[in-house]
Amino acid sequence: MDDYPLDTPSHAGIRPQRPVDEPGGKRAPTPTDILFGPSPAPIGMGAMTAAQIAARATSDELQRRLLETPIAAATERTLLVNEGRTMGREFPLPAETRVFVVANQKGGVGKTTTTVNVAAGLALYGARILVIDLDPQGNASTALGIDHSEGTPGVYEAVIEGEPLSKLLVPCAEHPGIMVVPATIDLAGAEIELVSIVARESRLKRALDAHLAETEAAGEKYDYVFIDCPPSLGLLTVNALTAAREVLVPIQSEYYALEGLSQLLRHIDMVKSHLNPTLDVSTILLTMYDARTKLAGEVAAEVRGHFQDAVLRTAVPRSVRISEAPSHGQTVLAYDPASAGALSYLEASREIAMRNNA
């Protein structure tokens, strides 16, 4: 079964089309297609899709009018994932590095999926990104195709042994622009080892701040940092909340999702008052949203009522493609770039970029 339809305008009708006589019809986009893309293929008698016309428009006025319509926005997203091009509109890059912690102590709500796919979406628009996998499960490392077998140097060495992050970085082959600090199972012991370490709440902050200063001095400033947390409020999560400036909370659009949220917010407030006064719960993303159920709508309304403008307009649908992608060591943007799941993560990335909090 494919993705459930999004409640946003369907992108299906405006995907760049292949020539009608192309043998085998539509082919699956490859990772290189995503980033550089084939040149636009005419359909039938030299006719072009709306996307192709938009992409080739020379008139500024036409370009401007096209960009203002919802169809154009959908076209642009599709062009970007399929052909690695925008219609002349770029994401704004932040002046200062935006450091996000992706946190929710509830397990399986989409923290890792959100981390890797938002990072991938922003990277497609040319952002430089650091992903720190702070979960001993190493799921973010897996989804970005990064080795995290036991003994691989990673975030454990940074937090416990004070190793500089620059020595632990691994570039993500599939998404140029993303650097990863992997997590191995060794990190499971860090929670306990941290207890007896001096300044145990700010170990990650120290490592990250030093790395950010170093990269900035070298003219290689990151635009975004995403820290993927484990499903707990232990010392690893406290380290992430101390190191970050913004909290991104993925909330599963289901009944129990709201339970535990007040505990998370109390925890964040505590970190704010003792360790990191400028921390801001800037972004809430509804995940696994099933538009067919009344419950999902009710949960969304409650979350929007409480968190107001922090909630992204995009809700990520429940999608088989999203759940399949990690088993291929891929983000959904790489695995099935035209799927509703990929497009909604791309749209969420765009919203985050537009809310330039820096």
Ligand X SMILES: Nc1ncnc2c1ncn2[C@@H]1O[C@H](COP(=O)(O)OP(=O)(O)OP(=O)(O)O)[C@@H](O)[C@H]1O
Residues in the site for ligand X, rule: CB under 6 A? 107-113, 135, 139, 231, 287-288, 316, 318-319, 322-323, 326, 341
Angle among Cα 154, 215, 91 to the nearest 5 degrees reads 100
Buried b (16+ CB within 10 A) or exposed e, 259-284: eebeebeebbeebbeebbeebebbbb
- Using CB under 5 A as the binding rule, whether residue 113 contacts Mg ion is answered as no
Residue with smaller CB distance to Mg ion, 82 or 115: 115
- Partner from Mg ion, ligand X, none contacting 31, C-beta within 5 to 8 A by type: none
Q: Read off the tokens for 293.
A: 């159920």
**Cα distance between residue 83 and residue 85, in whole Å:** 6
Residue with smaller CB distance to ligand X, 31 or 231: 231
**Cα distance between residue 105 and residue 334, in whole Å:** 27
Residue with smaller CB distance to ligand X, 50 or 291: 291
Q: 3-state DSSP helix/strand/coil percent for the chain, to nearest 5?
A: 45, 15, 40
Alpha helices, DSSP H, located in the chain: 31-35, 50-56, 60-67, 70-83, 111-124, 139-143, 155-159, 190-195, 203-217, 235-243, 261-274, 294-307, 320-324, 332-335, 340-354
Residue with smaller CB distance to ligand X, 318 or 350: 318
CB of 230 to Mg ion, least distance (A): 7
How many CA atoms does the CB half-sphere of 207 hold within 13 Å?
A: 28
CB of 238 to Mg ion, least distance (A): 17
Buried b (16+ CB within 10 A) or exposed e, 226-243: bbbbbbebbbbbbbbbbb
Q: Read off the tokens for 246.
A: 């913004």
Q: Which of 117, 139, 242, 349 binds Mg ion (CB under 5 A)?
A: 139
- Partner from ligand X, Mg ion, none contacting 78, C-beta within 5 to 8 A by type: none
CB of 30 to ligand X, least distance (A): 22
- Using CB under 5 A as the binding rule, whether residue 111 contacts Mg ion is answered as yes
- Using CB under 5 A as the binding rule, whether residue 78 contacts Mg ion is answered as no
Residue with smaller CB distance to ligand X, 33 or 254: 254
* Beta-sheet strand order (sheet of 311-317): 170-171, 178-181, 129-133, 224-228, 98-102, 246-252, 280-289, 311-317
- Using CB under 5 A as the binding rule, whether residue 148 contacts Mg ion is answered as no
The residue count for binding Mg ion (CB under 5 A) is 3
Residue with smaller CB distance to ligand X, 16 or 326: 326
Which among 39-47, 137-145, 177-185, 253-261 is the span making contact with Mg ion, rule CB under 5 A? 137-145
- Partner from Mg ion, ligand X, none contacting 318, C-beta within 5 to 8 A by type: ligand X
Pairing mode of beta strands 246-252, 280-289: parallel
- Using CB under 5 A as the binding rule, whether residue 237 contacts Mg ion is answered as no
Pairing mode of beta strands 246-252, 98-102: parallel
Q: Which of 82, 104, 112, 114 binds Mg ion (CB under 5 A)?
A: 112
CB of 48 to ligand X, least distance (A): 33
Q: Please, which residues have CB within 8 angstroms of residue 6's CB and are 6 or more apart in sequence?
A: 291, 317, 340, 343, 344
CB of 308 to ligand X, least distance (A): 23
Residue with smaller CB distance to ligand X, 72 or 346: 346
CB of 29 to ligand X, least distance (A): 20
CB of 110 to ligand X, least distance (A): 4
Buried b (16+ CB within 10 A) or exposed e, 133-142: bbbbbbbbbb
Residue with smaller CB distance to ligand X, 2 or 22: 2
**Cα distance between residue 114 and residue 187, in whole Å:** 21
CB of 260 to Mg ion, least distance (A): 15
- Partner from Mg ion, ligand X, none contacting 108, C-beta within 5 to 8 A by type: ligand X
- Partner from ligand X, Mg ion, none contacting 113, C-beta within 5 to 8 A by type: ligand X
Q: Please, which residues have CB within 8 angstroms of residue 24's CB and are 6 or more apart in sequence?
A: none
Residue with smaller CB distance to Mg ion, 139 or 215: 139
- The residues of the shown chain that bind Mg ion, judged by CB under 5 A, are 111-112, 139
